[in-house]
Amino acid sequence: MLRVTLKGLWAHKLRLSLTALAIVLGVGFIAGTFVYTDTIAKAFDGIFEDAFRGVDIVISADSELQFGEGVYLPEAEILALGEVEDVDELVPFLQGLGVVILDKDGEPIGGGGPPQFAFSFTETDVDSGGFSLRSGRYPQGPEEVVIDARTATDHNFAIGDTVFVVAPARPERGYTLVGIAGFGELDNLGGATSALFDLDTIQALLDREDQLTGASIQVAPGASVDEVIASLEPSLPEGARALSGQSAAEEQAVEIQEGLAFFNTFLLTFGFIALFVGTFIIANTFRITVTQRTRELALLRALGASARQVNRMVLIEAVVIGIVASVVGIAAGFGLALLLKTVFEAFGFALPTAAPTLQLRTIVVALVVGVGVTVISAILPARRASRLPPIAALRQDLVAPRRKALTTRAIVGSIVTVSGLSVLFFGLFVSLDAGPPEIVYVGVGAAIVFIGVSILSPLFARPVARLIGWPFVKLYRLPGKLAQENAIRAPRRTSATAAALMIGVTLVTLASVMAASINQTIDELIGSDIEADVIIRSTSEFDPTASFTPELADRAAKDESVDEVSRQQTGVALFNETETFVIGIEPNYPDFFPVDSSEGNLNPGPNEVVIERTISDVNELPIGSELQLSFESTGPTTFTVVGIASGDTWTDVIAISQADWVENYEIESDTQVFVRAASGFTPEEVQTRLTALAEDVPTAQVQTFDELADDVAEQINGLLNLITGLLGLAVIIALIGVTNTMTLSVFERTREIGLLRAVGLSRRQTRRMVRAEASIIAVFGAVLGILIGVFFAWAILLALADQGFTAFVIPIGTLTLWILATGLLGVVFAILPAWRASRLDVLEAIAYE
C-alpha cells in the first residue's frame, strides 16, 4: 500500500509540487524568521561576550524602566571602590541617550528608530562597553570625539574632520574627530549612532558632572571574582550593584533575547497566517485530487483495501508532502532570512548578523508545523476517500458527487461563523485578568470566522460568480461564458479557492481601514480641539522622551508672532507596577487642550496630579484619593488627585506640575512646546519665524499641526506598508492556490476542452476561458475578504472607541484597487494552466480516459 501511495505521488509530481509550494512558503517564512532572529541573537551574544572580555566585575545601576533616563551613580563613591582589596583596575564609565551627531549639512543623523548613544571611551586593558578603535586614537580633552564606523562611512567623516554634536540640553558644538570605533566586528550597534568622548567631556555634555553609569573592574591575578564582589558590596553606593562580567554579559543577552522574542512573534504571526491560508489550499487540492482519483481509490476498495487503508493512504501522502515541503521550506528559510534582513535594513533596522544559525528548534518547529498543517488539511479529504463505495470504481457515472445538503451546510456554516464571531467579540469587548491575552481570542475568533465563511461561501458562489463573470461574458463572449459556467458548475471548488484568498485580502483590508480611520481620528483631533497653532518637538520620532533645550521655549515666547507657549516634559514612572508615561505641564496646559468635562482643579500644585477620566475610573481614583508614582531617580512618591479631565486630546494623561517634574527627573528639557499664534499671524508665519529661532537646535523641529498630522499619517502608513508587505505572503500562497485549482481543473476537463477545441475553440480562446475563470475566483475571494475585513475593522474600532478611536473610514479607492489587482493577479497566476489547456492535443484529449 505504501508503494501505491509513493508511486502515485511520484507520478503526479506537478500536483505534488503545487501542493507543496504553499507549505514551502509558509514553513520557509517561519524557518526564515527563526534563522533571522537566532542569527541576530547569536551576533548579540558574541558582541556581549566580546564586550565583557577582560571585565571581571561590572558595577552598574539597574532600572526597571525601558524609556527611563537611566540611574546615575556618584562618581566619588564608585572611584573609592578602586581601593578595595584585590581590585586591580577600575575604569569608570558614563553613557547617555539622545546625543545626536549632525551630518555635514547640519542635519541630525538617525532618530527614525534606533537610539542615538553617547559613551565615555577610555584607553584601558579593561574593555568597557565593547567599543574598540578601528583607526585613529582615543578621545582626550573637551575638543575630541570618536564616532562609530557606520556613521563615519555613511556620512563621509574622516579623522581630522569637525563633527557637530547636540545633546538634549545643549546647543550644537563642534568636536574634532580623532578616531573611528567599531563594536566588536560590527560597524554600529543595531543601527544606533554612537559618539564617544573622554569621561570629563561626556559628563559635561550630559550635565552629569560627578556622576557615572558604572565601572568595569579587573581583579588582581589569582583573586576570586566572587570574593571580590562580596568585599565590594558593603561599600557600594545606594542603587548600585556588582555583577561578574559573565553574568552581566548573560543578562544583557537575555534582555536582547526578550526584545527579539517580540520581534520574532510579530514575524511568526505572518508565517502562521500564511500557513493557515495554506491549509485551505492544501485541503482543496486534496479534495480535488481525491475526487479525480475516485475510480482508482474505489478500485483499491473493490480489491479488498479497507476504508482505513484508503484513509491512511491519503494521510501518508500528506505526511510525505509535508516532510518534503518542510525540508525544502527550511532550506528556503535561509533565503527568506536574507530577504527579511534586506527588508528590515531598508526600513532602517540594521541589526547585527553572524553566520546564519540553524537551531534544532527551527528544524523541529518547521517539520511539526509543515507536516501538521498538511496532515490536518488532508483529514477531511482522506475521510471522504475512505467512504467511497467500492462500486464507484465501476459506475463512476452513477456515483453523484456527494454533496452536503444545502441546509446542513447553511446550519454548520452559520454555527461556526457565529461561534467565531462570539470568540472575536469576547476578545474585543471583555477585558480579562487571567488567561491568554485578548488578542489571542481575537485571532482565534477571526480564524474560526474564516472557516465558517468558507463553509458558507459555496451557498452563494453561484450568484456571485454569475455576477462577477458578467464583464467577462461581455468582454470575451463564448470563452467568458464558458469560464462563468465553469466557476458556477463547481461552486465548492470556486469558493474553496476563493476562501484562501479571502483571508489575505481580509487582513490587508483590515489594515487599510484601520490606517485610514486612525488617520482620520488624528486629523479630527488635531483639526478641532487643540488651541495651538504650532508645535516644537524633537526630531527623534520614535522616542517620546527625546527632548531639547528649554531655551527654545523662552525664545519662542518672546517672539512677536507668538501669543502664548506651553511647555511639556515627558518621562516614565512606575504606576501600578507598569511603566507609564507622565507629563509635566504648565498651568496654561488646559487652555491648549480643551476639556469636555472636568472635576476639580486642572492645575496641579506640589505633590498633586491631574489624571484623565478613564484612568480615574479604571483605577478607582476619585478627587482627593492618593496615587503612587515611582520615579527612576527619586523612587516612590505619593500624589493627591486634584483634577480629573476628559477630552479627546486628554487620552492617558497623568500630569504633574513642572516644579514636581524638576524634583523627580534629571532631564529638565522640553519634549514638546505648544505655541499659539498672536493675532495677525498665520501658523505658517509663526513656523517660519520659530524655525529661524531654532536654527542652532537641530534636534528640534517646528511644525504646524497640519504637518504634524501628515507626519503621524506617514508613520502609520509606513507600518501599514510593512504589514501589507508581510501579508503579501498569504496572498501569494492563496494565488498559488488559484494556479493549483486551475491546473487540476484543466486536467479534469481534458476531454471537455479537447471537445471544445475539436469544434473550433481557438487556443487563444481556450487560454482566455481558463484565465477568466481564475479571475472570477480571485475577485470572488477579494470581495469576500473586503466585506469581512471592513466588518472586522468596524468591530475593532468599536472596541477601541473609548480610547479615542472614533472615526471609521472605508478607503473605497484603495479597496477597489485591491479588487482589480486581485482579478489581475488571478489572470497572472492562471497563465501556466491556461497555456497547458491551450496546448492540449485535441485527439489525445478526446481519447483521454
Partner 1 sequence: MTSTAARAVEATKVFGSGDTAVTAIDRVSVEFQRERYTAIMGPSGSGKSTLMHCMAGLDYLTSGQVFIGDQNLGELTDRELTVVRRDRVGFIFQAFNLVPTLTALENITLPNDIAGRDPDQDWLDSVIENLGLGDRLEHRPAELSGGQQQRVAAARALASRPELIFADEPSGNLDSTSSAELLDLLAQAVREFGQTIVMVTHDPIAASYADRVIFLGDGRIVDEMADPTADRVLDRIKSLEA
Ligand X SMILES: Nc1ncnc2c1ncn2[C@@H]1O[C@H](COP(=O)(O)OP(=O)(O)O)[C@@H](O)[C@H]1O
| Spatial distance between the Cα atoms of 772 and 830, rounded to a whole number of angstroms | 9
As measured in angstroms, the least distance from the Cβ of 751 to partner 1 is 15
Burial 834-846 (b: 16+ CB within 10 A, else e): bebbbebeeeebb
**430 by DSSP, 3-state: which?**
coil
- Which amino acid is located at 632 in the chain? E
As measured in angstroms, the least distance from the Cβ of 320 to ligand X is 35
Window of 7-15, 63-71, 160-168, 234-242 that interacts with partner 1 by CB under 8 A = 7-15
Tell me the CB-side half-sphere exposure of residue 111, using CA atoms within 13 A.
23
The reply to whether 396 sits near ligand X by the rule CB under 6 A is: no
The count of residues interacting with partner 1 (CB under 8 A) is 25
Angle at 790 between CA 786 and CA 795, to 5 degrees: 150
As measured in angstroms, the least distance from the Cβ of 312 to partner 1 is 12
For partner 1, give the closer residue by CB, 309 or 601.
309
Quote the crossing angle between the two packed helices 750-758 and 763-799, to the nearest 10°.
Answer: 130
For partner 1, give the closer residue by CB, 301 or 567.
301
The reply to whether 749 sits near partner 1 by the rule CB under 8 A is: no
The reply to whether 759 sits near ligand X by the rule CB under 6 A is: no
As measured in angstroms, the least distance from the Cβ of 283 to partner 1 is 23
As measured in angstroms, the least distance from the Cβ of 400 to ligand X is 9
For ligand X, give the closer residue by CB, 3 or 402.
402
For partner 1, give the closer residue by CB, 288 or 609.
288
User: 346, 398, 400, 405: which one contacts ligand X (CB under 6 A)?
Assistant: 398
As measured in angstroms, the least distance from the Cβ of 319 to partner 1 is 18
Contact flags string 381-410 toward partner 1, x per CB under 8 A: --------xxx-xx----------------
The reply to whether 400 sits near ligand X by the rule CB under 6 A is: no
The DSSP string of 465-497 is HHHHHHHHHHHHSHHHHHHHHHHHH-HHHHHHH
The reply to whether 295 sits near partner 1 by the rule CB under 8 A is: yes
Please say whether the dihedral angle defined by the alpha carbons of residues 245, 247, 250 and 255, taken in this order, is positive or negative: negative
As measured in angstroms, the least distance from the Cβ of 387 to ligand X is 16
The pair phi, psi for residue 528, each rounded to 5°, is: -100, -55
For ligand X, give the closer residue by CB, 398 or 812.
398
Please say whether the dihedral angle defined by the alpha carbons of residues 618, 623, 626 and 627, taken in this order, is positive or negative: positive
For partner 1, give the closer residue by CB, 394 or 831.
394
User: Strand ranges (DSSP E) for 448-561?
Assistant: 534-538
As measured in angstroms, the least distance from the Cβ of 391 to ligand X is 7
As measured in angstroms, the least distance from the Cβ of 395 to ligand X is 6
As measured in angstroms, the least distance from the Cβ of 846 to partner 1 is 16
The reply to whether 124 sits near partner 1 by the rule CB under 8 A is: no
For ligand X, give the closer residue by CB, 399 or 846.
399
User: 14, 307, 716, 755: which one contacts partner 1 (CB under 8 A)?
Assistant: 307
The pair phi, psi for residue 17, each rounded to 5°, is: -75, -30
For partner 1, give the closer residue by CB, 7 or 474.
7
For partner 1, give the closer residue by CB, 11 or 820.
11
Residue 261 interaction partner, one of partner 1, ligand X, none, beta carbon < 5-8 Å per kind? none
Residue 493 interaction partner, one of partner 1, ligand X, none, beta carbon < 5-8 Å per kind? none
| Spatial distance between the Cα atoms of 78 and 690, rounded to a whole number of angstroms | 44
As measured in angstroms, the least distance from the Cβ of 308 to partner 1 is 8
742 near 833, Cβ under 8 Å? Answer: yes
Residue 803 interaction partner, one of partner 1, ligand X, none, beta carbon < 5-8 Å per kind? none
Closest to 454 measured CA to CA, from 416, 508, 480: 416
As measured in angstroms, the least distance from the Cβ of 291 to partner 1 is 16
For partner 1, give the closer residue by CB, 303 or 812.
303
**180 by DSSP, 3-state: which?**
strand
The count of residues interacting with ligand X (CB under 6 A) is 2
188 near 113, Cβ under 8 Å? Answer: no
Q: Can you give 62-107 as a three-state secondary structure string?
A: CCCCCCCCCCCEEHHHHHHHHHCCCEEEEEEECEEECCEEECCCCC
User: 361, 395, 403, 558: which one contacts ligand X (CB under 6 A)?
Assistant: 395
| Spatial distance between the Cα atoms of 257 and 286, rounded to a whole number of angstroms | 40
As measured in angstroms, the least distance from the Cβ of 392 to ligand X is 10
Residue 800 interaction partner, one of partner 1, ligand X, none, beta carbon < 5-8 Å per kind? none
Residue 463 interaction partner, one of ligand X, partner 1, none, beta carbon < 5-8 Å per kind? none
For ligand X, give the closer residue by CB, 395 or 477.
395
User: 231, 257, 309, 580: which one contacts partner 1 (CB under 8 A)?
Assistant: 309
As measured in angstroms, the least distance from the Cβ of 442 to ligand X is 49
| Spatial distance between the Cα atoms of 698 and 700, rounded to a whole number of angstroms | 5
For partner 1, give the closer residue by CB, 302 or 363.
302
The reply to whether 14 sits near partner 1 by the rule CB under 8 A is: no
For ligand X, give the closer residue by CB, 7 or 395.
395
As measured in angstroms, the least distance from the Cβ of 394 to ligand X is 9
* Eight-state DSSP code of residue 517: H
Closest to 43 measured CA to CA, from 267, 485, 327, 351: 351
The reply to whether 305 sits near partner 1 by the rule CB under 8 A is: yes
- Which residue(s) pair with 175 in the sheet? 163
The DSSP string of 145-178 is EEEEHHHHHHTT--TT-EEEEE-TTS--EEEEEE
As measured in angstroms, the least distance from the Cβ of 10 to partner 1 is 8
The pair phi, psi for residue 806, each rounded to 5°, is: -95, -25
For partner 1, give the closer residue by CB, 393 or 556.
393
710 near 253, Cβ under 8 Å? Answer: no
User: CA 701 → CA 190, 194, 457, 639, 686, distances in Å?
Assistant: 25, 22, 53, 33, 13
Closest to 298 measured CA to CA, from 229, 197, 399, 369: 399
657 Cβ contact partners less than 8 Å away, ≥ 6 residues apart? 584, 585, 603, 604, 605, 606, 608
As measured in angstroms, the least distance from the Cβ of 848 to ligand X is 24
Residue 429 interaction partner, one of ligand X, partner 1, none, beta carbon < 5-8 Å per kind? none
Question: Roughly how many angstroms between the first and final C-alpha of the chain, as a whole number?
Answer: 24
The reply to whether 847 sits near partner 1 by the rule CB under 8 A is: no
617 near 604, Cβ under 8 Å? Answer: no
Residue 173 interaction partner, one of ligand X, partner 1, none, beta carbon < 5-8 Å per kind? none
For partner 1, give the closer residue by CB, 393 or 840.
393
Q: Which three cell numbers stand for residue 706?
A: 497640519
- Which residue(s) pair with 703 in the sheet? 535
The reply to whether 304 sits near partner 1 by the rule CB under 8 A is: yes
User: 223, 299, 798, 800: which one contacts partner 1 (CB under 8 A)?
Assistant: 299
For ligand X, give the closer residue by CB, 339 or 399.
399
Residue 13 interaction partner, one of partner 1, ligand X, none, beta carbon < 5-8 Å per kind? none
The reply to whether 314 sits near partner 1 by the rule CB under 8 A is: no
The DSSP string of 727-750 is HHHHHHHHHHHHHHHHHHHHHHTH
Which single residue brings its beta carbon nearest to ligand X?
398
* Eight-state DSSP code of residue 581: E
Chain residues binding partner 1 by CB under 8 A are 1, 3-4, 7-8, 10-11, 295-296, 299-307, 309, 389-391, 393-394, 849
Chain residues binding ligand X by CB under 6 A are 395, 398
